Structure 1
Amino acid sequence: MQLFDRFNLGHGFRKYFEILPALDDTLRDDVFRIRHEVYCQELAFEPVRPDARESDEFDAQSLHCLMRTSHDPQQLVGCTRLVLTDPESPQTPLPFERTCAKTLDRSIVDPSRMPRDRIAEVSRLAVRSPFRRRRGETQDSAPIHDEDFGNVVYPRFPYIPIGLYLGAIALAKRSGIDTIFVLTEPRLASHFAKLGVEVKQIGDPVEHRGTRIPSMMDVESIIKNMRFLVKPIWRVIHDEIESGYKRTKGSSRLSV
């Protein structure tokens, strides 16, 4: 990576990748195909489907985010989704509320008592194997490691997984979401701290495709407190998400 790209993450991201909201059937089909490749065929987290698309009941109430290479839109990189609460049944649990029903510390936060239209969950983050950095990493859909950030002399940046998380945050911001929940590997908090993002653990670990920690993040705090070095990539991703909505004139909270 060239020196300029190391210190201007927005330029570096735009040079290699593009991110967009999956607002039509064609783009959502790309999302479901990536998820099937990663979650069903590679990791065997879900059963293989005859149509080679992985989807579940929460997709109907989700906003989807798709990453492609900037030089070839047909080259799919990864995806994630932001699961909103069901507007017709707001108290219906989000996926993490089901998985962590017995392990959430409700003295920290009780999602069932929060304004349900102001919370959401980031889930189904998946990166295709050609874009996962290390050979042999088959047990994680989007691994992030300390060394992915490099060091002071030779800095690096894990563009793909962080870019997908920032894409989900951009979707949350434009959808009026205050708090996002995530169920991830234990190291996520330390990785996000490098970016100036506070991830608050809200319960005990659970066994869900490996050890996972239920956590929460405040959307406005993420945007306000992210490190100076990260702000350029955030602006690029935010603008690309907004451009995707403008192109499709998708201005509603939920476009499915």
Structure 2
Amino acid sequence: MDSSSSDRNLGRKFQELFELTVALDQASIETVYRIRHEVYCRDLGWEPERANGMESDEYDRHSVHCLLRRRGSGEPVGCTRLVIARPESPEYPLPFERSCQDVLDRAVIDPATLPRNDVAEVSRLAVMGSFRQRKGETAKPVSVTDDDFESRGGMPRFPFIPVSLYLGAAAIARRLNIDHVFVLTEPRLASHFVRIGFDIHPVGGAIEHRGVRVPSLLSSSKVVAGLRPLIRPLYTVVENSVSAAFERYPHALERLRGGAS
């Protein structure tokens, strides 16, 4: 029982396997771009390959990136970003506001009516191919299945990689005092996150965007309160990692809010 209890401490288990940080220095940011190039350009062919081996777009200048590595070796595992409003042009639409403009249910929530400094979007989630080896995963940037929440021999099989990256984005949003976090994701992925206690719900109809995607809203202020007890130690580890990163780069928030490159 002691061994099983230890294995079920997801925070401790995560720390044994991975380390998550906020990419605030140039070297880490370039590692994020290289992960995205490997996944989005070379593996999936969703974006054209770049000569420099780094995939980036216009939203990266106003984004905060999560970077996940394998503990010990430092091997890049995955990444995601939190796109925030542009300080110099706050009305400029976030990616989902363009792709989902015709399917958003504005009776539920209308992003246009929210303070722009309280709106963000999680996007560009990518996991390296060596960590997407199971059946059905190679054609997706990330995958979560029903099996990920099943026990095997008394030990939980848990999708540490995608869950930690989303928790990282939520922790960054909390750090920035952004409550309304939108995400465009597969319907099944959103339902899996509901199972672990994410306060996430659809806010519009489905669109075709590299597969069927549905816009959903995550409340960052409700993340901790809503998480299942099993998940809270993992969130604590992730949040501490996010806080430590910003403490190492104390001027990062000022640059983001001020729109500096």
Q: TM-score range by the shorter chain?
A: over 0.9
Superposed CA deviations along residues 50-93 of structure 1, whole A, max 9, x for unmatched, are 111000000000001100011112x0000000000111111111
Return the offset for 1:185.
Answer: 0.4
TM superposition score normalised by structure 1: 0.95
Aligned to 2:47: 46
Give the secondary structure class of the aligned counterpart of 1:172: helix
**Would the aligned equivalents of 1:41 and 1:48 in 2 still touch at CA under 8 Å?**
yes
Counterpart of 1:147 in structure 2 is 147
Identity of aligned residues (%): 46
- Confirm whether residue 88 of structure 1 aligns to residue 85 of structure 2: no
Measure, in 1, the Cα distance between the counterparts of 2:225 and 2:101: 31
The equivalent residue for 1:210 is 211
SS class of match (1:183): strand
**Residue aligning to 1:99:** 99
- Supply the AA of the counterpart residue of 1:56: D
TM-score (norm 2): 0.93
Aligned partners of 1:252 and 1:167: how far apart in 2? 16
Counterpart in the other structure of 2:65: 64
Structure 1: 5+ residue stretches without partners:
none
* Unpaired stretches in structure 2, ≥5 consecutive residues: none
Q: Aligned partner of 1:143: which letter? A: S
CA distance in 2: counterparts of 1:4 and 1:25, whole angstroms: 40
Per the alignment, residue 123 of structure 2 pairs with: 123
Q: Which amino acid aligns with 2:81?
A: R
Number of residues paired by the alignment?
254
Distance 1:63 1:193 in 2: 24
Give the residue type in structure 2 aligned to 1:117: N
Cα RMSD after superposing both structures: 1.5
- CA displacement at 1:156 relative to structure 2: 1.6
The corresponding residue for 1:164 is: 165
In the TM superposition, residue 220 of structure 1 has moved relative to its aligned partner by 1.2
2:14 and 2:160 in contact (8 A); partners too: yes
In structure 1, how many angstroms separate the alpha carbons of the residues matched to 2:138 and 2:160?
A: 19
- Which contiguous aligned blocks of 4+ residues in structure 1 show a shift greater than 6 angstroms? none
- 8 Å CA contact retained: 2:103, 2:207: yes
SS of the residue corresponding to residue 156 of structure 2 reads coil
Contact 1:36 1:54 in 2 (8 A): yes
Q: Please state if 1:177 is matched with 2:178.
A: yes
> Residue 187 of structure 2: SS of its match in structure 1?
coil
Task: Please list the CA deviations of residues 14-37 of structure 1 after superposition, one character each: whole Å capped at 9, or x if unmatched.
Answer: 000000010011000000000000
For the pair 1:55 / 2:63, whether they are aligned, the reply is no
